[in-house]
Amino acid sequence: LQWLRNPGPQHEKRTLFGDVVCFLFITPLATISGWLCLRGAVDHLHFSSRLEAVGLIALTVALFTIYLFWTLVSFRYHCRLYNEWRQTSQRVILLIPKSANIPSNQQSLLGLQSLKRNSKETIV
């Protein structure tokens, strides 16, 4: 969720937003277009030319091949960006338990009293 809120530089935010919008727009469009092409191919097989039916089937296969290729390339690109972000954007807090050997004034000098937990940080 942190990466979705702030994936990195501005161009990466725009690319992610643009790909999500395209995916939401192209998925139903490709589905409806493929269904209509197959529906037309069935009609052409029953009532007229087989050549037109084969053309519509080939168009459907090309459409879904291009759609799946774009989806795969886009998904892999954003997964790579996420993995790079994850490797460079880790927050780790080291919690040192209170010890009887360290006086309280030294603990406050070390800043142990003022540690705040943040939901974005990993506790080790």
Handedness of CA 40, 27, 29, 18 (dihedral sign): negative
> Residue 102: pLDDT band by 50, 70, 90 thresholds?
low
- What is the residue extent of each domain of the chain? 10-90
Q: Classify 107 as helix, strand or coil.
A: helix
Looking at the chain, the whole-number percentage of residues with pLDDT higher than 90 is 17
Identify the pLDDT of residue 68: 93
15 has pLDDT over 60: yes
Residue 88 CB burial class (10 angstroms; 0-12, 13-18, ≥19): exposed
Identify the pLDDT of residue 112: 47
Q: Worst-scoring range by mean pLDDT, 24-28, 60-64, 118-122?
A: 118-122
Separation between Cα atoms, residue 124 and residue 93, nearest integer Å: 6
More confidently predicted of 110 and 13? 13
Q: Are 60 and 37 in contact (CB under 8 A)?
A: yes
Q: What is the pTM of this model?
A: 0.59
Identify the pLDDT of residue 69: 94
Cα 22–83–71 angle (5° rounding)?
25
More confidently predicted of 26 and 12? 26
